A and B are shown apart, each in its own frame.
Chain A
Amino acid sequence: DAGVTQSPTHLIKTRGQHVTLRCSPISGHKSVSWYQQVLGQGPQFIFQYYEKEERGRGNFPDRFSARQFPNYSSELNVNALLLGDSALYLCASSRYSGTGAAEAFFGQGTRLTVV
């Protein structure tokens, strides 16, 4: 079975531009979460979507948005990019049922560089 797949793997954008990152979850997983990891830190939670509804939002500005599609894939959008948005963006999927936690499985990430 395929794991969590993310695209693209690397991306270079200019300040002020917009970016869309994509994620396909493991087959059978209905929950997708997004994390940002900067160098030397652990991943930081951005969003969780379950059954196409937002279930959680981290402490990120409104420039960050996401959505989940009927096939459970997801997009993370970031507007008006800043240099500080340069990071590894990780997508995770799980069998989360709406109650309690479940093991999250991560993709390889998208390395975003803002110049």
Chain B
Amino acid sequence: DQQVKQNSPSLSVQEGRISILNCDYTNSMFDYFLWYKKYPAEGPTFLISISSIKDKNEDGRFTVFLNKSAKHLSLHIVPSQPGDSAVYFCAASASQGGSEKLVFGKGTKLTVNP
């Protein structure tokens, strides 16, 4: 039973265009969401997060949108750069659980073509 789903295994975009990565979740107890980027042979790198009390958070070229009613979040990268090519993971946690357990999706491999 996957509680966090990234239904697109891969995404290819042109340099300079927008990349939109999507994530859906099923557990209504999740109240904190994070995006990580992972290069081969490295650990995941934290990108951006959002609390469930917000619907948008922006940090430079990265913006995360949260639609609680649809249990959906997305990561927008504008403009996309070749160095953004990596696997992107969506993760969620439930603060009421008392632990910092992160539940991850399977990831989306983004390729930005020059």
Query: A residues touching B (Cβ–Cβ < 8 Å)?
Result: 4, 31, 33, 35, 40-45, 48, 50, 55-56, 58, 90, 92, 94, 96, 99-109
A104 x B43 contact (CB < 8 A): no
Bin chain B's interface residue count. Answer: 20 to 34
A43 x B101 contact (CB < 8 A): no
Chain B residue with the shortest CB-CB distance to A45: B101
**Within the assembled complex, what's the spacing in Å between the Cα atoms of A103 and B57?**
14
A-B contact pairs, 14 of them (CB 8 A): A31-B100, A35-B102, A42-B91, A43-B44, A43-B89, A45-B102, A45-B103, A48-B99, A55-B98, A90-B43, A92-B102, A101-B100, A106-B36, A106-B46
Chain B residue with the shortest CB-CB distance to A44: B104
Total A-B contacts with CB atoms under 8 angstroms apart: 70
**Within the assembled complex, what's the spacing in Å between the Cα atoms of A35 and B95?**
18
Residue in contact with A43 in the complex, picked from B31, B42, B97, B104, CB distance below 8 Å? B104
Query: 4 nearest interchain CB pairs?
Result: A56-B99, A42-B104, A106-B43, A101-B32
A48 x B101 contact (CB < 8 A): yes
Query: B residues touching A (Cβ–Cβ < 8 Å)?
Result: 4, 31-32, 34, 36, 41-46, 49, 89, 91, 93, 95, 97-107
B100 x A33 contact (CB < 8 A): yes
